[in-house]
């Protein structure tokens, strides 16, 4: 505890388990507050141990109910659990419902479970600004398992693969999402499939279908590479099986060395994503402010210049500007 006295006061309180400081730092992460950069170097040495579980799937699949049961099961065996729920932002009002505590009443009552809602704020890929920092904060705070529930946004759900150590895709029978399920990107990104509401008609066919297509997709690696688990989350059925599979999957990642490899891939992906975001913002600002670029866009609109030529000229202009 003596070492904590030499740290900035918010960091000392954070590392001592002050939940209010965790919430304060999470607010900073979500709002892009650069003051957080001053604190992160103190926190990062305490990170790198959390098991990040990404859970995605179409709306109506029961992801929140499933997470509620899973988090409670993990917490009841003594695990520290953090949950980040990504809610879509309205394109009309800019607001988000952020009602996950309502949907996760069982887990929300447990002292070793922390739930945080984050809005997408119209970011790309159905994730939220500051999500990576939020995961790092929960990791540094001592959460052994961090569960991230993403917005069900179709093919872009694969973005969670760049953040999570394991990706769980939740589907249900009769939802009409078979075409989405068969998309190669999502199939390859998934480590575990959950067929929720498995007591409904068509569940057995859904499970067989998933296993069959996984065998076709993954060839000699076999269906074991992506588990298919039936659940009835509202009745807490199949939750313990999912918890056990998640534990087995983590053990396999560690044993094969893939754990560290995935972590390295996540860091690289986040750096690339952030650089692209900065350049995108820079481009949008320049397109609004620079007369030369606005005129070039006007020529494209008037069909006086091709899109490809305009892109080439814009890139040359921006590179010259950056050099100067």
Sequence spans of domains, the chain: 1-46, 47-258, 271-323
Assess whether pLDDT exceeds 70 at residue 89: no
How many Å apart are CA 22 and CA 25, to the nearest integer?
5
**Of 3 and 305, the one with more pLDDT:** 305
**pLDDT tops 70 at residue 88:** no
- Checking DSSP bridges between strand 166-171 and strand 192-195, what pairing results, if any? parallel
Superfamily of structural domain 47-258: P-loop containing nucleotide triphosphate hydrolases (3.40.50.300)
State mean pLDDT over 14-21.
96
pLDDT of residue 11: 96
Read off the tokens for 305: 């210049």
Whole-angstrom distance between the N-terminal and C-terminal Cα of the chain?
49
Task: Tell me the backbone φ, ψ of residue 191, rounded to 5 degrees.
Answer: -100, -35
Q: In which band, very low, low, confident or very high, does the pLDDT at 323 lie, cut at 50, 70 and 90?
A: confident
The pair of structure tokens assigned to 280 is: 């995108």
Mean pLDDT of the chain: 85
pLDDT at 1: 41
Most confident among 153-167, 225-239, 296-310 (mean pLDDT): 296-310
Q: 192 has which bridge partners?
A: 168, 227
The pLDDT value recorded for residue 115 is 94
3-state secondary structure of 167: strand
Tokens of 207: 């499970």
């Amino acid at each position: 505890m003596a070492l904590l006295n030499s740290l900035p006061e918010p960091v000392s309180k954070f590392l001592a388990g002050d939940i209010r400081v965790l919430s304060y730092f999470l607010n900073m992460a979500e709002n892009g507050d650069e003051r957080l950069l001053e604190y992160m170097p103190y926190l990062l040495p305490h990170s790198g141990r959390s098991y990040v579980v990404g859970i995605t799937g179409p709306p109506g699949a029961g992801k929140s109910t499933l997470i509620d049961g899973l988090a409670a099961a993990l917490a009841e065996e003594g695990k520290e659990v953090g949950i980040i729920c990504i809610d879509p932002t309205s394109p009309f009002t800019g607001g988000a419902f952020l009602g996950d505590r309502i949907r996760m009443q069982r887990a929300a009552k447990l002292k070793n479970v922390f739930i945080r809602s984050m809005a997408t704020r119209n970011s790309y890929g159905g994730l939220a600004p500051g999500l990576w920092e939020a995961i790092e904060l929960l990791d540094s705070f001592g959460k052994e398992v961090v569960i991230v529930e993403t917005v069900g946004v179709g093919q872009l759900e694969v973005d969670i693969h760049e953040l999570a150590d394991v990706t769980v895709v939740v589907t249900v029978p009769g939802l009409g999402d078979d075409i989405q399920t068969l998309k190669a990107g999502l199939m390859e990104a998934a480590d575990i499939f959950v067929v929720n509401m498995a007591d409904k008609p068509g569940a057995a066919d859904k499970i067989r279908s998933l296993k069959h297509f996984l065998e076709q997709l993954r060839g000699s690696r076999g269906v074991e590479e992506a588990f298919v688990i039936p659940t009835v989350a509202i009745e807490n059925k199949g939750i313990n099986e999912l918890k056990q599979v998640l534990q087995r999957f983590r053990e396999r990642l560690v044993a094969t060395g893939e754990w560290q490899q995935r972590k390295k891939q996540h860091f690289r992906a986040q750096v690339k994503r952030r650089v692209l975001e900065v350049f995108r913002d820079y481009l949008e600002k320049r397109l609004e402010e620079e007369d030369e670029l606005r005129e070039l866009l006007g020529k494209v609109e008037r069909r006086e210049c091709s899109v490809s030529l305009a892109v080439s000229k814009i890139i040359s202009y921006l590179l010259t500007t950056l050099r100067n």
